[in-house]
Structure 1
Amino acid sequence: MGHVHYIVFANEKGGTGKSTTAVHTAIALAASGHKVGVLDLDHRQRTTTRYLENRDATMKRLDKAIPQASYEVLEDQTEEALAAALARLEQNADVIVVDTPGRDDAIARAAILRADTLVTPMNDSFVDLDLIGQVHPDTFKITRPSFYAELIWNSRTQRAKATGKSVDWVVLRNRLQHIQSHNLVRVGAALDELARRVGFRVIPGLGERVIYRELFPKGLTLLDFHEIGEVGLGHVAARQELREMISSLDIPGEAATNEPIAAAG
């Protein structure tokens, strides 16, 4: 087997849609033909694990196979257990999605060091932007990168020295409002400025939609239209957002396999 591509979802703030985005990414990649493993590092909340367990239960109830990832939750919070869990998942995966907890800890940092693609979801607000950069209260210009941005910078430098590989850091603008506002424009401008200074890419993520909360109990995603039932225009628009997000992540091999995503559901 060739190199396994690691996608690590990391953000010290909660409520950014991190686990929802991680699950949708994993299932979208599985639907496009990738063999996907998922490791949930949050052994207390277990949101990602519960989502995928609900998906297994739905398949059993419907007696129907739908795209799924193999998954584990890291119960033993040690770097040795982390390495062992990833080694197990690597045996049958070409992509591994790691969902870190919404806090800073040693295991999350160890996972970040493995990232080929590091994804930091954030809500589209100055509250969340403060995680990666401080903003002047009058001009809304970036005054300096934050502690978290410095942490990621150091992790990327450490990985480059150890492996010679670069890390693609992607900041994902989740819960984008569908109505243009001064705040939206200011946050976008500040992010673009910080991206140039710190070295990340900014891409649109998943919008603020009730459907994401409704899908969780059945473990379904926006690619599962046949199982969702009644589908409205909002669902179609949300699925297109998902497709565009996956495309923008630039996962190796995705260009050749993204057509099944478009055909799924």
Structure 2
Amino acid sequence: MAHIIVVGNEKGGAGKSTVSMHIASALARQGFRVGTLDLDLRQQSFGRYVRNRKAFMEAEGLDLPSPRYMELPEIDKETLQPGENAYDHRLSAAVAVLEPESDFVLIDCPGSHTRLSQVAHSLADTLVTPLNDSFVDFDLLAHIGADGEKIEGPSVYSEMVWHARQLRAQAGLQPIDWVVLRNRLGAQQMVNKQKMEKALERLSKRIGFRIAPGFSERVIFRELFPRGLTLLDLKDIGVKQLNISNIAARQELRDLMKTLNLPGVEVDF
């Protein structure tokens, strides 16, 4: 069975599509078969990222290691069983196609609470939650006191993950390995940043997730998207000398992949 990676967070703008593309492409570059899905049926940022990559490769005559992307299949509602949800059926059908032909299936979820996102979380062997380094985003995981220190209780997204864990336990599946990724980090060691770090450490022990290093805020990520490229593709497109920022960003990706500790993956880039 393919190992299923779900990248999820109910808040938009956390960098899910960038994280998804870099994980999927890093795995493909190491020779793994990677199938991918984008469950944001309206915006489809990840889907556009993949299509941009395909168009760029065709225009430049390149063959870069890439994941396989699949649209959710349309279904005839007349074929649904009584009480069966159409979105559940579409997602199950897509995973059923990708799983036998993939070592990993990566599912990018929308930045909102949807039925598809709920179901996808229950399928996750590894759940990656990118989180902007602010208490606005932290509020999705837990409510915190005015002092920025006291955790008052879990919030909406944590409750959804808890429900997904319950469903997996009832089905006799392995527990979700939940990794919260601190993303878009600023360079300065501000007091707010230090409070976030301490709050996440306390919360991780309370509700059960691991903390991974994410990507710092860098212009390079905005420049890569229109061409569908990742940090690992720069040398393949003729960039002979990486600048300090790009080298640091590659190291951040390397650290992320090591922290994810995906089965059979040795980080060698």
Normalising by structure 2, report the TM-score. 0.92
Give the aligned CA root-mean-square deviation in angstroms: 1.3
How do residues 63-102 of structure 1 correspond to structure 2 at under 5 angstroms? 63-74=61-72, 76=74, 78-102=87-111
Asked if structure 2 preserves the Cα contact closer than 8 Å seen for 1:51 and 1:219, the reply is yes
SS at match of 2:181: strand
Which amino acid in 2 is paired with 1:39? L
Give the Cα separation in 1 of the matches to 2:150 and 2:187: 24
Aligned-residue offset at 1:172: 0.6
Shift of 1:91: 3.0
* Corresponding letter in the other structure for 1:202: I
Cα drift, residue 15 of structure 1 = 0.4
2:237 counterpart of 1:239:
no
**What fraction of aligned residue pairs are identical, expressed as a percent?**
46
Q: What is aligned with 1:51?
A: 49
In structure 1, the residue corresponding to 2:258 is in which secondary structure? Answer: helix
Structure 1 residue 46: Cα displacement: 1.1
After superposition, residues 8-157 of structure 1 pair within 5 angstroms as: 8-74=6-72, 76=74, 78-138=87-147, 140-157=149-166
CA contact (8 A) 2:134 2:196 kept: yes
Contact in 1 for aligned 2:73/2:93 (Cα 8 Å): no
Are residues 1:187 and 2:187 paired?
no
Contact 2:148 2:195 in 1 (8 A): no
Matched, 1:163 2:161: no
8 Å CA contact 1:46–1:73 kept in 2: the answer is no
Structure 2 equivalent of residue 208 of structure 1: 217
- Alpha-carbon distance in 2 for matches of 1:49, 1:69: 11
Aligned positions, number = 256
1:42/1:73 contact within 8 Å kept: no
Q: Following TM superposition, by how much is the alpha carbon of 1:147 offset from its aligned partner in structure 2, in angstroms?
A: 2.2
Deviations for 1:148-187, whole angstroms, at most 9, x for unmatched residues? Answer: 2122112112202213311101111001112211111100
**2:73–2:94: 8 Å Cα contact kept in structure 1?**
no
**SS at structure 2 position matched to 1:91:** helix
Q: 2:80: which partner in 1?
A: none
Name the CA distance, whole Å, in 2 between partners of 1:15 and 1:184. 18
SS of the residue 2:14 aligns to:
coil
Q: How far does residue 75 in structure 1 lie from its aligned partner after superposition?
A: 6.1
Matches of 1:208 and 1:41, distance apart in 2? 25
Partner Cα separation in structure 1 for residue 148 and residue 136 of structure 2: 16
- 2: CA distance, partners of 1:75 / 1:204: 35
List structure 1 runs of 4+ shifted beyond 3 angstroms: none
* 85-94 or 97-106, which deviates more: 85-94
Give the conservation status (yes or no) of the 8 Å contact 1:43–1:75: no
